[in-house]
Amino acid sequence: MENFMNKVIITVVGKDTVGIIARVCTYLANNKINILDISQTIVSGYFNMMMITDMENATVKFTKVVEDLDTLGDEIGVKIKAQKEEIFESMHRL
């Protein structure tokens, strides 16, 4: 079975504006959080992005990432949520 311990699902939702991806990716890169997969769409002016990230080499703890991304979301006018993959998986299990 794959090790989920370091994987974090990050979702970003809000009105589309220039620089959303750049700001989120810059934060992740600055904290050595690797993006494993990314998907983004814009529907009727609303931006939606989902990322699977790996925090194995991160320079900050998960709780700090959650706080920082929440603050970043407020700054750029979107809602950013980070969840550990095992929690995300258990919440969405049928």
At 26-69, the pLDDT tens digits run 999 999 999 999 999 999 999 999 999 999 999 999 999 999 99
Count of domains for the chain: 1
In this structure, the number of other CB atoms found within 10 A of the CB of residue 74 comes to: 11
pLDDT score of 73 more than 90:
yes
The residue among 87 and 53 whose pLDDT is bigger is 53
How far is residue 69's CA from residue 79's CA, in Å, rounded to a whole number? 9
Whether residue 72 lies inside any domain: the answer is yes
CATH of the domain at 46: 3.30.70.260
What single letter denotes the amino acid at residue 68?
D
Predicted local confidence at residue 54, as pLDDT: 97
How far is residue 73's CA from residue 45's CA, in Å, rounded to a whole number? 17
Query: Domain span at residue 16?
Result: 7-92
* DSSP secondary structure letters along 18-56: TTHHHHHHHHHHHTTPEEEEEEEEEETTEEEEEEEEE-T
Whether residue 77 lies inside any domain: the answer is yes
Predicted local confidence at residue 24, as pLDDT: 98
Whether residue 2 lies inside any domain: the answer is no
Whether residue 66 lies inside any domain: the answer is yes
Q: Of 36, 38, 65, which is closest to residue 49 (Cα–Cα)?
A: 38
Contacts of 16 (CB under 8 A, 6+ apart): 42, 45, 46, 47
Predicted local confidence at residue 1, as pLDDT: 36
The residue among 85 and 52 whose pLDDT is bigger is 52
Whether residue 1 lies inside any domain: the answer is no
pTM: 0.87
